[in-house]
Amino acid sequence: MSKLGTLGHRLHRGEVSYDFVGKRKLWYGVSILITVAAIVGLAVNGLKLGIEFSGGAVFTTHTSSVSVSEAQDRIAGDTAGHHATIQKLGNGGLRIQVSDIDTTTSKQVQQKISEDLKIPTSKIDAEIVGPSWGKEISKKALQGLIIFLVLVVIYLAIAFEWRMAAAALVALLHDITITTGVYAIVGFEVTPGTVIGLLTILGYSLYDTVVVFDGLKEATRGITKQNQKTYSELANRSLNGTLVRSINTTVVALLPVAALLFIGGGLLGAGVLNDIALALFVGLTAGAYSSIFIATPIVADLKEREPQMRALHKRVLAKRASDAQKAKEAEARGEDPDAAADADPQDDDEATASAAAGVIAPRAQGGASRTQPGSRGRGGRNRPSGKRR
């Protein structure tokens, strides 16, 4: 842990860094592959909507010694032609969900399940959800998501600028696509808990992105007044400065979510926790990734297209070419190359401006800077004090 803390301080001070922004094409390629895989999984498997969205019935039994696979075999063919999803509850009971059936059909299915599992009908609790109510819930969930994204874009455009708002929107859509794709591939149900988890991880991803953007805004303030770093280089330095903080925040958030998913849902059999736990786990991971590898590189790409940033890029390259030429000449004379590069800031500025225009400025003879002569008295002497006679 001490080494991680030392690394964090060195990253923050700029002593060490990893070129995230410079290798943005690699991260774009990785994100595109993951997103395409998620879209393919979504297209092939589709989302398994819970009864809250599709309508149907849920039958919950009291404590039973029947396993999930055995219950699946017994009730096969007795669910009105619809697929039944069965989960084992923590109290030993069973949760049997049958989608797209009405109230009359649900009573018939409840009776057949009672006969198949040899459980009295009075000990099977039935919950019926109409399809119209499910469609209304789906519509409201979609409206909530759209309103959230619109407010995010407006806030970021006001607090920062439209380029950062666009980058944050791309990162959020990236997180949504990956999370829904994983849901389709794994086959978990989409419930109201899933929607809550999705909105939660979008808020977390936005928080992480805003932290990175705030550091980026401070690091690039007055950027056009210098000729040492380009926008991408300053953005990368800012990103490295907040890297350890983002990693620590993500790990701390993932630990309880992983316990909820793998221990609560896997070992303890609390299947109703799987929907929200999976959304949080996948979303938090994707959100941390997109804040570091997607959002900031996109901002750098958009900013580098501005005329001011293009001019800055040319000045930086010209300055480095001038410094390299001076270091080469100093090395030929047997002088210290580093000292020669920083010997005359005025000559550096003139050489940078000339090199940016395609002309190499001549060096001052001897490399010495010019100084203004001091004030002189009449006759080269100072006038004595006192009255003049």
Mean pLDDT of 204-224: 85
CATH superfamily ID and name for 2-49+134-305: Multidrug efflux transporter AcrB transmembrane domain (1.20.1640.10)
Q: What is the DSSP letter of 59?
A: E
DSSP state letters, 233-257: HHHHHHHHHTHHHHHHHHHHHHHHH
**pLDDT tens digits, one per residue of 249-295:** 888 888 888 887 777 665 655 555 677 888 888 888 888 899 889 99
Binned at pLDDT 50, 70 and 90, residue 388 comes out as very low
Element (H, E) at 3: helix 2-13
Instruction: Give the span between the Cα atoms of 105 and 221, in whole angstroms.
Output: 66
pLDDT at 264: 65
Give the start-to-end residue ranges of the domains of the chain: 2-49+134-305, 56-129, 308-358
pTM of the model: 0.70
Q: How many other C-beta atoms can be found within 10 angstroms of the C-beta atom of residue 130?
A: 13
Instruction: Give the span between the Cα atoms of 274 and 188, in whole angstroms.
Output: 8
Of 226, 152, 138, which Cα lies nearest the Cα of 190? 138
3-state SS, residue 227: coil
Are 277 and 191 in contact by the 8 Å Cβ rule? The answer is: no
Pick the CATH number of 56-129 from 3.40.50.300, 3.30.460.30, 3.40.1710.10, 3.40.50.1000: 3.30.460.30
Exposure string over 245-259, b if 16+ CB within 10 A, otherwise e: bbeebbeebbeebbe
pLDDT at 339: 60
pLDDT at 360: 40
Q: CA neighbours within 13 Å on the CB side: how many for 53? A: 16
pLDDT exceeding 70 applies to what percent of the chain?
A: 78
| Most confident segment among 5-9, 140-144, 344-348 | 140-144
Are 201 and 284 in contact by the 8 Å Cβ rule? The answer is: yes
Contacts of 219 (CB under 8 A, 6+ apart): 234, 235, 237, 238, 241
pLDDT at 28: 92
